[in-house]
Amino acid sequence: MIRIIFFIILFVSLAFGTRAEDHYWEKGETFLKFLEKNSLPFSLYWGLDIEDKEMAAEIYAGTKYYILRGDEDDIRQILIPVASGELQLHIYKEKDEDYTVQFTPAAYQESEKELVFKLQLSPYQDIIALTNSTLLAREFVNSFQGNIDFKRLREGTEFVLLYKEKTRLGSHFSNPLIKAAMVDTKSKKEYVFYYEPKGRYYNNDGKEIEGFFLMTPLKYTRISSPFTLKRWHPVLQKYRAHYGIDYAAPIGTQVKAAGDGKVTFVGPQNGYGKTVKIAHEGGYSTLYAHLNGFAKSLKNGKYVKKGELIAYVGNTGVSTGPHLHFGLYKSNQPINPASVIKVAKSALSGKEKTEFNKYTEVMKEKIAEAQAKGVIPEMDGSFVYVIDIADNADS
């Protein structure tokens, strides 16, 4: 469907006197401001339901979007990728009808890739030099966290990565997934495996790699809405998404930083009401929305500790009742906070371990094959949608 829309924009536009334009979402721009700027009716926003209004708050500065105009310079279609880029906001108009807005899934290619290289500067720098992907470099370093000291690697160390990547029109589309990787120091081979049933990285012994962990940011009554990346709603006949967990709690309940980090945003955000954002290590960031107010000392640029009071539960923005909307992002892509909230790391045992061992044997063979071939994939274009908030926050 969207592929068709793209074709319309790219090709049919030439034939029928229509015109496609690229734009970039401005810093501080809200969906309402965007409608005003383009003389589009505000009803396109007010007509959205609550979940969709939250989604409209998920358009980031720097996002590239497309406007297709007709013969009289009138807007025919607009496509704006939202957060992960899996969904996009599509505004369109048939000839003399009113504008309609809906969320539609985006088209992308998913490909399995291999990367083999010898240490030059550091694995992080080398991966960027070879693939043009900071996302892949970061994911690689994260995946080995605590298992290898990358600063102490010797010349001649060889790396093998098997990964999955989504691209769209030749550009990175979301975080790559490293399925398996090996660091061969010539005296020892160290592995990591992404184990799908657990959704986490493990070493060769089936021990979970210590990654980034969060705490639940408040004492809540119940989860009023779970995380949903993208789901077709058969009754409403449309795509729904919810990029966070909603925790119901009374107004004034203390909200705490889910992890150590640097505050990157304090203030109102369209749809989300009073909002706090915190950048954490490894490209992670968290978002706390619909707040009643902020902790006194909280301001942009402040470093906070895990568990430090940052704000209070409220009902601001588009909200049906007092709750905290808690979002987690990795390189600005929404991920399920439930996968990262954890108490202790675990090791696989028993039947699980047997299954894991079978899986890793297969992956090790694939790694050995890749190493023998020595593949370097074609370079991708730059990442299309995202200005990296976490990176900016570190500098």
Cβ proximity to Zn ion: between 113 and 325 the closer is 325
Tokens of 108: 């992308």
Among candidate residues 377, 331, 319, 394, the one with its CA nearest the CA of residue 162: 377
Cβ proximity to Zn ion: between 224 and 346 the closer is 224
CB 54, min distance to Zn ion, A: 5
Cβ proximity to Zn ion: between 143 and 319 the closer is 319
CB 288, min distance to Zn ion, A: 11
CB 87, min distance to Zn ion, A: 15
- Measured distance CA(9)–CA(64) in Å, rounded: 14
CB 201, min distance to Zn ion, A: 28
Fill in the amino acid letter for 329. Answer: Y
DSSP 382: -
Cβ proximity to Zn ion: between 66 and 247 the closer is 247
- Measured distance CA(98)–CA(42) in Å, rounded: 12
Q: In sequence order, what are the beta bridge partners of 222? A: 248
CB 306, min distance to Zn ion, A: 22
Give 53-120 as a DSSP string: HHHHTTPPTT-EEEEEE-TTS-EEEEEEEETTTTEEEEEE--TTSPPEEEEEEPP-EEEEEEEEEE-S
CB 225, min distance to Zn ion, A: 6
Cβ proximity to Zn ion: between 134 and 332 the closer is 332
CB 229, min distance to Zn ion, A: 14
CB-closest chain residue to Zn ion: 325
CB 3, min distance to Zn ion, A: 30
CB 302, min distance to Zn ion, A: 24
Helix axes 134-143, 123-131, angle to 10 degrees: 150
Cβ proximity to Zn ion: between 58 and 246 the closer is 246
* CB of 225 closer than 8 Å to CB of 352: no
Cβ proximity to Zn ion: between 77 and 270 the closer is 270
Cβ proximity to Zn ion: between 171 and 224 the closer is 224
Fill in the amino acid letter for 386. Answer: V
Cβ proximity to Zn ion: between 256 and 325 the closer is 325
* CB of 241 closer than 8 Å to CB of 247: no
Radius of gyration of the CA atoms of the chain, in A: 23
Q: Identify the residue whose tokens are 């809200």.
A: 30
Q: For 157-192, give one letter per residue: b (16+ CB within 10 A) or e.
A: bbbbbbbebbbbeebbbbbbbbbbbbbbeeeebebb
* CB of 33 closer than 8 Å to CB of 59: no
* CB of 240 closer than 8 Å to CB of 233: yes
CB 214, min distance to Zn ion, A: 17
Among candidate residues 160, 197, 220, the one with its CA nearest the CA of residue 369: 160
CB 242, min distance to Zn ion, A: 6
Residues binding Zn ion (CB under 5 A) = 246, 325
Tokens of 319: 């909200």
Among candidate residues 279, 283, 274, 275, the one with its CA nearest the CA of residue 263: 279
Cβ proximity to Zn ion: between 137 and 287 the closer is 287
Which sign, positive or negative, has the C-alpha torsion 361, 362, 364, 365?
A: positive
Cβ proximity to Zn ion: between 56 and 136 the closer is 56
